[in-house]
Structure formats: structure tokens, C-alpha cells
Amino acid sequence: MPRKPRIHEPGAVYHVILRGNARQVIFTDDRDRIRFYDILQKSCERFRHRILAFCLMSNHVHLAVQVGDIPLSRVMQNISLRYTQWFNWRHKKCGHVFQGRYKAVMVDADSYLLELTAYIHLNPVRAGIVEQPEQHRWSSHRPYLGKEKIEWLEPAPVLSQFSAKTGKSCSMFATFVAERTTEGRRGEFHGEKTLDNRLFGTDQFIEEILIQAQSPSEHKPNVATVLDAVTRLYRLSTAQLAAPGQERTASEARGLAAWATRELSSGTLAELASTLKRNASTLTCAVTRLENRLERDSDLAEKVEKLKRDLHEVQIFKA
């Protein structure tokens, strides 16, 4: 049975579990963990998502991520790619560091965010590594208690539900977590025994999200519209874009067309690949190269913003 597609909802909170390939260790020492912190910070800055809670274990990671307009899939692809590059470079290895598909469950934050945060912080206790969650250095529990400061961590959505006063909210949160210290594994936070394994929340929450997910692609541009916008931007014809070879301008334009198809359109990379006489895997690699360049190439970033504006105008016109 094919896997269900990821559900993206701006502002949604996800419980994400990123595991080592074949359960292998992904953090050998503090240097690896600090590097992962740095990658999380850069990801927050670039993709405008928020890390509400986290816990680093030896062979997996728990995150509570609140996304913005950019889908979680892009966020996690960037995090896993950058850490894999670091890990393999530092340890002189090659190949996969993480399992091919991370686990993500959209959680009804209005009803379960407090419990999810406590559940993530108690992971080392359930694993028998420590007796109290504050004894585990590499989680967001100590910052929640006011004992550490992590710039990119955002505990306010959780702590503000206890009290407007910082000291009191930290104390009340500590009590909330302590009351759950003996709590075992909760399958619902892993997408088990729920109406849909992508979601956990009230029946109303699940119903509303599924209705939105099943709605048509609104007025998103199709592949032909994306290609039309890209060829105008680069002053190329579709034939030039599909021509064999790796001429730099055409190659960059194909990468941008692939990125826009994946992120902004109702179409698929398979459709674009058929039009451009390329393999879908080749276009996927082109997207990765383009995203890596965006951080240091202001001219390319400007073209991306221009393309986004053009396609947004198409959506408004068709609406």
C-alpha cells in the first residue's frame, strides 16, 4: 500500500522523530551534538519554523516543530542533509546517516502541546538513561526550567499556558512533567492507534485537517504555468530548457523550475521531467544544488523571490 502524502498546514505543530539508519549512533560526542544545534538554528532562520521542544538521544532525535509557510518535508530534508554531510566528513564515512523517511505526526497543539513537550523531555527517563529529565543535558528541559538558554528554542508557547510570570511558569512546568515521570510510551504520539497515523488530536481536529488535505489544489499553477514563468524570467524557450547539455543558464533555470514545481505548483517532478526530457531523480538533485546555493547567492535568491511573486499573481488572477 502506498504511503499517504505528508499533510502541510501553516502553523501546525509536528512531533518529529529522526532515527539513525539501521539504528546506528548519530551522535558520537558533544561536538556532533553542538553541530546539530547549529544546524537547527540555521534551519529556523532560513525556513522560519520554530523548535518548541527537542531531545537528542544517541541514535535518534525528537523534535516538536511548528512550521510556517514552508512544508516540514523541506525543513527535515535540509536538516538531515546538512548533518549527514557533517557526520560523514568528520568521521570519514559515506552513505546514509538517517533512515530514509522520518516520522512526523501533526499534533493538536491546542489540546496536547503540553503533554507532547513533557513526553519529549521524558524520553531519557523512559529509556533508563537518567532518573530525572533535567539530568539529561541534550534536551530542552533544562532551558524550560530556566537553567540554560538556547537562542533558537522557543518555550513561550508552552510556558505561557502555565503563567505569565517566568519563574512561576517554569516551576509549574517542572511539576507538570514530574507528575508524568512514570508514564510509559504513548503510541498516539507516534501515530499509532489513531484515526489517521499522520494526526493526533481531538476528533474535530482530525476531521478538519483531513477535509483541508482532501480539498483540491485550489488555484496553484500547473507545470506549464511554472515553465512559462521560468522561461520568461531567464529569457529562454522551453526548447532551450529541454535541450541536452549542461549550459549554465539553462541548468539553473531547470533547477528553479524543478524547485517551483515541487514547492509551489499542483504538478509533480515526474510531469516536469517528461516535458524537459530528464529523469525525475536528476531534477531532484538540481533542487538540492539550488537550495544549497541560495544561502550564498543573492542573485539567485532574488530570482526565486521574483518567480514566487509571478506565480502568486497567477493564483490571484485565477481565483
Q: How many domains does the chain have?
A: 2
Quick one: pLDDT at residue 168?
95
Q: What is the rounded CA–CA span in Å between residue 268 and residue 280?
A: 9
Asked if residue 238 is part of any domain, the answer here is yes
Q: Are 263 and 75 in contact, with CB atoms under 8 Å apart?
A: no
Q: Identify residue 252 by its one-letter amino acid code.
A: E
Asked if residue 6 is part of any domain, the answer here is no
Q: What is the rounded CA–CA span in Å between residue 68 and residue 309?
A: 18
Which CATH number is 314's domain given? 1.10.1750.10
Asked if residue 5 is part of any domain, the answer here is no
Asked if residue 257 is part of any domain, the answer here is yes
Quick one: pLDDT at residue 3?
66
Structural domain ending residue among the three candidates 214, 244, 264: 214
**Does the structure show a pLDDT above 70 at 316?**
no
- Summary count for the chain: helices (H), strands (E): 14, 5
Query: Does one domain contain both 179 and 245?
Result: no
Q: Cα(first)–Cα(last) distance of the chain, in Å?
A: 35
Structural domain ending residue among the three candidates 193, 214, 235: 214
Which phi and psi angles does 8 have, rounded to 5°?
Answer: -110, 130
**Residue carrying C-alpha cell 535518534:** 60
Query: Does one domain contain both 145 and 58?
Result: yes
- Give 317's pLDDT tier (boundaries 50, 70, 90): very low
Asked if residue 306 is part of any domain, the answer here is yes
Query: Does one domain contain both 145 and 266?
Result: no
19: helix, coil or strand? strand
Tell me what the mean pLDDT of segment 15-26 comes to. Answer: 94
Query: Does one domain contain both 171 and 53?
Result: yes
**Does the structure show a pLDDT above 90 at 60?**
yes
Structural domain boundaries, residue 311: 223-318
**Does the structure show a pLDDT above 70 at 81?**
yes
Query: Does one domain contain both 58 and 85?
Result: yes
Query: Does one domain contain both 235 and 192?
Result: no
How many CA atoms are closer than 13 Å to the CA of 200, on its beta-carbon side? Answer: 21
Which CATH number is 104's domain given? 3.30.70.1290
Closest C-alpha among 135, 224, 122 to residue 180: 122
Query: Does one domain contain both 86 and 179?
Result: yes
**Does the structure show a pLDDT above 80 at 315?**
no
Most confident of the ranges 96-105, 136-145, 241-250: 136-145
Query: Does one domain contain both 250 and 186?
Result: no
Query: Does one domain contain both 24 and 72?
Result: yes
- Give 219's pLDDT tier (boundaries 50, 70, 90): low
Looking at 59-202, list the stretches that DSSP marks H as alpha helix, in order from N- to C-terminal side: 72-91, 109-121, 123-126, 141-144, 156-159, 166-178
Q: What is the rounded CA–CA span in Å between residue 156 and residue 163?
A: 10
Quick one: pLDDT at residue 20?
94
